[in-house]
Amino acid sequence: MWLYDEPAEPVERQRHLIGLYARYATEHLARLVEMERTRACMTTISEELLPSRLPRVTGVQLAARRRTGPRGGGDWYDALPLPDAALGLAVGSVTGSGPSAIAAMGRLRASLRAYAVMEGEDPVAVLSDLELLLRLTEPARSATALFAYCEPALRKITLAGAGHSPPLVIGERRTEFVETSLSAPLGMLACWEAPSVEVTAAPGETVLLYTDGLLHRTGDPMDRAFARLHAAAASVPRAVRTDPGAVADHVLRSVLPDGLDAADSEEDVVLLAARFE
């Protein structure tokens, strides 16, 4: 910008600079518009690869929340009815970001659904099959996953995890992490194996599954992030504990305050809450 004490016209050099500025600004704005369009497209594709609605299963209420980074990521969740009035719950995260991670996420989720229908009562077998598929078809990629086989009538949950954070049980008398065994992510070892664990939920308790992005977005060391998550879950108001969606919202706001849940981040966030009646 040039300021003149009296009416004047810009000289040739100034006209040239104005032209350069206008050209570079136009190119920059065009790139920003294209990036926003690409981001919106990836977000739409990612959402289309996830459940359009959660199933209605007698004895359990479900809710899910998801926040996606600007480049699109591979965090996912699923809930599907299984034979004998059972329910399968899953969350996972594929390494990387962008279109390739979104596509890999879609393939893994679809494969897990097939394995769950065939042998869902054995979560270790489900994840073992998923690991073999990943190792044979995408050897350069790894993923974390947690699969839970739920029997709502008994409020019984059998689960296994592959490099994934432990679920949380939230209730009137306890708020605690489920003690899952340590295991490597899928695709990291020649043969994946880990024992399953069983949990029985009390009436009214909510089991919260989530991806590591919830912890990473805090910017804290992992031990402090886990403590922050536990405190958020323990502070859920009694008035909203009957609504798994409200429980997930409270945890999300408490762990990621001041808009961190909506801020642009390389980390996706997924929460899947199941309240047992």
Pair (70, 150) in one structural domain: yes
pLDDT digits (tens, 9 = 90+) for 134-177: 988 888 889 999 999 999 999 999 999 998 999 999 999 999 99
Angle made by CA atoms 224, 143, 155, in degrees to the nearest 5: 70
Whether residues 71 and 6 fall in one domain: no
DSSP 8-class letter at 166: P
- Provide the angle, in degrees to the nearest 10, between the axes of the packed helices 123-137 and 99-119: 140
For residue 274, give both structure tokens.
């199941």
CATH number, domain with residue 125:
3.60.40.10
User: Looking at the structure, do residues 151 and 66 belong to the same domain, yes or no?
Assistant: yes
81 lies in the same domain as 27: no
Q: pLDDT tens digits for the chain (277 residues)? A: 566 667 777 778 877 888 888 888 888 888 888 767 766 666 666 666 688 899 999 999 999 999 887 666 789 999 999 999 999 999 999 988 777 888 888 899 999 999 999 998 999 999 999 998 998 888 888 999 999 999 999 999 999 999 899 999 999 999 999 987 768 888 887 667 788 999 999 999 999 999 999 999 898 999 999 999 999 999 999 999 999 999 999 999 999 987 665 556 678 899 999 999 9
219 in the same domain as 189:
yes
pLDDT in tens, 181-200: 768 888 887 667 788 999 99
What residue ranges in the chain does DSSP mark as E strands?
Answer: 60-67, 73-82, 86-97, 143-151, 156-162, 168-170, 175-177, 197-200, 206-210, 269-276
**Are both 37 and 147 inside the same structural domain?**
no
Amino acid at position 27, single letter:
E
14 and 135 co-located in one domain? no
pLDDT computed for residue 270 by the predictor = 94
**Looking at 11, 27, 45, which one is the last position of a domain?**
45
Is there a single domain that holds both residue 66 and residue 174? yes
Range of the domain at 13: 1-45
- For residue 88, give the nearest of 104, 108, 66, 112 by alpha carbon: 112
* Number of domains within the chain: 2
Q: Mean pLDDT, the chain, as a whole number?
A: 87
Could you tell me if 118 and 237 lie in one domain?
Answer: yes
Residue pair 181/171 in contact (Cβ under 8 Å)? The answer is no
**Helical spans, DSSP H, in 235-273:** 244-255
Q: What is the pLDDT of residue 1?
A: 57
> Could you tell me the pTM of the whole model?
0.83
Q: 57 and 34, same structural domain?
A: no
- Same-domain pairing of 74 and 4: no
87 shares its domain with 217: yes
